[in-house]
Amino acid sequence: MLALATGGTAGAPEDFRAMMSDAIARMHVAMQVRFSGDADRDFARMMIPHHQGGIDMALVELRYGKDDRLKRLAQEIIVAQKQEIEVMHLALREN
């Protein structure tokens, strides 16, 4: 997905919508987990794809966005949510 960030502002609005819709659809599918009865585990298993969806959407913003403030925010989202995903993976491995 990092390659998405290198495309500048090329592409039609339809490309933006398609990429965002795809990111959201993947996130929603991945968030559908079978409940284990362990609230911490279930929370982490659902939040990992939720955060990945945020990363994927931020990458689309970097590719198509024009507002420097929002592009900076997208970069911050990518960094922060990758760190949070790692914390959740660590918690899952420890349990």
Residues in the chain: 95
Nearest to 7 by CA among 22, 24, 19, 23: 19
* Cβ atoms < 10 Å from Cβ of 43: 13
37: left (phi over 0), alpha (psi -120 to 50) or beta: left
Please report which confidence band the pLDDT of residue 87 belongs to, taking 50, 70 and 90 as the band edges. very high
Which DSSP symbol is given to 2? Answer: G
The residue ranking higher by pLDDT, 69 or 7, is 69
pLDDT digits (tens, 9 = 90+) for 22-76: 999 999 999 999 999 999 999 999 999 999 999 999 999 999 999 999 999 999 9
Token couple for 86: 């790692």
Q: pTM score, two decimals?
A: 0.84
